[in-house]
Amino acid sequence: MVMESYDYLKNRPAYKICRALIFTGPIDEFFNFEVGRLSYRSLRRVHEFLPGADWVQPCGQVNHPDAGDAGALRTIEWKHLMPADQQGQIRGTLLTREFPFTPEEPDRFEYPVPTADQGKLYRHYRRRARAVPGLVICGRMGTYRYLDMDKAIGLAMRLAERLLSREPTKRSVTFVKRSQSPTRQP
C-alpha cells in the first residue's frame, strides 16, 4: 500500500512499534518541540542558465565564506561534474547559487546549527528518545549533526545491517521518513 502526502507524526496512534520505529526527521519535532526548538538552517537555491557562456568558474563548486547575510554561500557549476567527453557537447552552462536562511517548517530543515545551548536541548531530546522502547532516531536531523552524504549512507547501511541481522521474527520493522508513508518489511 502506498499513501502519498502522509505525515506519520500526525497519525502516530495508527501505528504500534513492533520491533523498531526508525525516524529520520528532526528529533525535536518527534517530541512536539516540548521543551523548545533546535536551530536549523537551510538553503534557498537559485538556478541560472547562461546560454552564451561555456564556463564561468574554474571548478565545480566555489565557496563564498565572506558573502555576508545576503550573498550566496556557494556557487555550483554543474558542467564541471559531467564526464569530460560530454562537457564540450553542451552549449552554455548552468549555475546554482545557494543562499542560507533559517526555516520555520521542519520540511525545510537541512543542517543543524550546533551550539552549546542547542547541544543541551538536543541531549534532552536524546534522553527522551532512549526512553521509548524500539525507537531508533537517525540521520542529520535525528542526531542533530552535520553528516556528509557518504557518511549518512554508510551509517544507514550499518544500522540496517544491525537491525536485519537480529533473530528472524514475524514482527515488522517500520521505517519512517518525514512526509512519506511507512513501509513494513519482515
Q: How far apart are CA 130 and CA 128, in angstroms?
A: 6
Measured CA to CA in angstroms, residue 180 lies from 10, 83, 140, 163, 183 at distances of 12, 34, 17, 21, 9
User: Among 42, 94, 100, 91, which residue's Cα sits nearest to residue 68?
Assistant: 100
Q: How far apart are CA 11 and CA 15, in angstroms?
A: 8
35 near 124, Cβ under 8 Å?
A: yes
Instruction: Encode pLDDT of 153-165 as tens digits.
Output: 898 898 888 888 8
Q: How far apart are CA 58 and CA 139, in angstroms?
A: 33
With bands split at pLDDT 50, 70 and 90, how would you rate the model's confidence at 33? very high
Instruction: Encode pLDDT of 61-91 as tens digits.
Output: 999 988 776 789 999 999 999 999 999 899 9
Region 21-47: what's the mean pLDDT?
Answer: 92
Q: What is the C-alpha radius of gyration for the chain, rounded to an integer number of angstroms? A: 20
Looking at the chain, how many residues does it have?
Answer: 186
Instruction: Encode pLDDT of 83-126 as tens digits.
Output: 999 998 999 999 999 998 889 888 888 888 888 999 999 999 99
Query: How many C-beta atoms surround the C-beta of residue 15 within 10 A?
Result: 13
* pLDDT of 163: 83
